[in-house]
Amino acid sequence: MSEGTKPRDAGNWARPSGSLTASNVPSGALDTVGGKQVLSPIQGFGQMWQKTYRVSLAGAGVTPQQVIAVWKDEFPLFWPDGNEFYAPLTGITPGEVALLEAAVGGGLKLSTGVLVIYADDESFTFMTPQGHMFAGWITFSAFEENGATSAQAEVLMRAQDPLTELGLTFGGHRKEDLFWAETMRALARRFDVDAEPITNVVCVERRRQWSRVGNVRHSSAFRSSLHTATAPFRKKTQ
Amino acid sequence: MNQQAVSMNVRHADEATSVIEIRGDVTAASEEPLMDAYTAATEHGARAVLLDFSGLEYMNSGGIGLLVTLLVRANRLKQRLLACGLSDHYRQILELTRLDEAISIYPTEADALAAVGA
């Protein structure tokens, strides 16, 4: 492709901006991502995982484009109870930042967010910022398969820091798998399909990147745990 | 999934360096041709693989995911991954996804080959 020719995917990608800015902070949301940078799986600490959650929408009579349009418009509705996704006012479009609160167990809720790095008619991708549980991206897509439309969420991730890696190893991965499986069921129900998602988990790289251990300073989990642990002492000194 | 049009041509610049010329669309559907090309590029012991993107016409986030997989494979085999021929647009995508921190980017094939001493 020669310089000056506009690539076909030009409007589908966000532009690199260095640090994140949420265009709006809805009531009830906590902006913990402002000024943070996004992290790819390369910048994470833990083992690298590729997790795929796929559900068939056979019988729904919908095209992949229709599925993605609904998924973008109603994204927060498909998340399991107890988790919040604050969609950007302009919708899921490249460059937008969405804030979220994820229930991570033990009564803890982590406030974080995602950057929409890519979106087209058949897929969209979120990338996570510093402080998120994992470094990587999640791609949501829909496609024709065996004569019917299927929807899929695919996570390519590494725990950002040792604390999160520990949490993922001891129950976190299972919790995440249940989260996305429930999300896919809810999406299927939206199209009047009662289907069980297929989960496929592959450890892409077993090696942990100890050079990234310093990511812990950005960890929402670390900060939330510290805040909880020191709460009694703060009360005593007040 | 839609099959996208992509072609890969593998050349050996010297014993230690191979070049993969990528033409067309790189998406998740490109996994098999890309991995096959990488196998062909490294089967004779190349220590560095240069991805020539000058023929790249389209890439979505599935394609970026493939580059991460390729990077993991290269790291495991202690091979270096380089890129050349990226337009400003695709260079920005590697910057956005921070893959430019792991894949060395050069303007031309000659620059890349000079950097690895080929």
A224 confidence band (pLDDT: 50, 70, 90): low
A32, part of any domain: no
pLDDT digits (tens, 9 = 90+) for B83-102: 999 999 999 999 999 999 99
Distance from CA of B33 to the nearest CA of A (A): 19
Distance from CA of A234 to the nearest CA of B (A): 40
CB-based contact A42 B102, cutoff 8 Å: yes
A143, part of any domain: yes
Mutate to test the interface with A, among B6, B96, B105 (most CBs of A within 10 A): B96
Per-residue pLDDT of chain B (118 residues; tens, 9 = 90+): 445 589 999 999 998 999 999 999 999 999 999 999 999 999 999 999 999 999 999 999 999 999 999 999 999 999 999 999 999 999 999 999 999 999 999 999 999 999 998 6
> What pLDDT, on the 0 to 100 scale, is given for residue B18?
97
Closest chain B CA to residue A14: B96
A12, part of any domain: no
Domain coverage including residue B108: 6-113
> What pLDDT, on the 0 to 100 scale, is given for residue B2?
46
A residues 121-180 lying closer than 8 A (beta carbon) to B:
123, 125, 127, 137, 139, 141, 143-145, 154, 156
Distance from CA of A233 to the nearest CA of B (A): 41
The dihedrals phi and psi of A142, each to the nearest 5 degrees, come to: -140, 145
Of the candidates B57, B61, B92, the beta carbon closest to that of A118 is on B61
- How many domains, in total, are found in chain A? 1
Under 8 Å between Cβ of A131 and A154: no
> What pLDDT, on the 0 to 100 scale, is given for residue A45?
96
Q: Is the pLDDT of residue A109 over 70?
A: yes
Closest chain A CA to residue B97: A40
**pLDDT cut 70: percent of chain A above it:** 90
Chain B CB contacts of A1 below 8 Å:
54-57, 87
Of the candidates A10, A127, A205, the beta carbon closest to that of B72 is on A205
> What pLDDT, on the 0 to 100 scale, is given for residue A226?
63
Strand order of the sheet with strand A84-86? A84-86, A97-105, A108-119, A123-127, A134-145, A148-159, A48-56, A198-205
Distance from CA of A39 to the nearest CA of B (A): 7
Of the candidates A8, A48, A118, the beta carbon closest to that of B58 is on A8
The CATH number of whichever domain residue A168 belongs to comes to 3.30.530.20
CA distances from A134 to A107, A114, B15 (A): 19, 11, 39
Under 8 Å between Cβ of A187 and A151: yes
B18, part of any domain: yes
CB-based contact B89 A8, cutoff 8 Å: no
Give chain A's mean pLDDT.
90
B100, part of any domain: yes
Residue B26 pairs in a beta bridge with B59
The CATH number of whichever domain residue B25 belongs to comes to 3.30.750.24
State whether residue B40 sits within 8 Å of chain A by CB: no
Distance from CA of B118 to the nearest CA of A (A): 26
- How many domains, in total, are found in chain B? 1
Give the mean pLDDT of A182-189.
98
Of the candidates A15, A40, A123, the beta carbon closest to that of B92 is on A15
DSSP three-state, residue A106: coil
CA angle A33, A159, B66 (to 5 degrees): 95
pLDDT digits (tens, 9 = 90+) for A3-34: 567 889 999 999 998 899 887 787 777 888 88
Buried b (16+ CB within 10 A) or exposed e, B44-80: eebebbbbbbeebbbbbbbbbbbbbbbbbbbbeeebb
Q: What is the 3-state secondary structure (H, E, C) of A13-69?
A: ECCCCCCCCCCCCCCCCCCCCCCCCECCHHHCCCCEEEEEEEEECCCCCCCHHHHHH
State whether residue B101 sits within 8 Å of chain A by CB: yes
Distance from CA of A38 to the nearest CA of B (A): 8
Q: Is the pLDDT of residue A229 over 80?
A: no
Under 8 Å between Cβ of B42 and B79: yes
> What pLDDT, on the 0 to 100 scale, is given for residue B74?
95
A201, part of any domain: yes
Domain coverage including residue A193: 44-211
Under 8 Å between Cβ of A45 and A209: yes
State whether residue A18 sits within 8 Å of chain B by CB: no
Mutate to test the interface with A, among B23, B90, B97 (most CBs of A within 10 A): B97
Residue A139 pairs in a beta bridge with A125, A154
State whether residue A87 sits within 8 Å of chain B by CB: no
In total, the C-beta contacts within 8 angstroms joining chain A to chain B are: 80
pLDDT digits (tens, 9 = 90+) for A116-156: 999 999 999 999 999 999 999 999 999 999 899 999 999 99
Answer with the residue of higher pLDDT: A236 or A204. A204
B79, part of any domain: yes
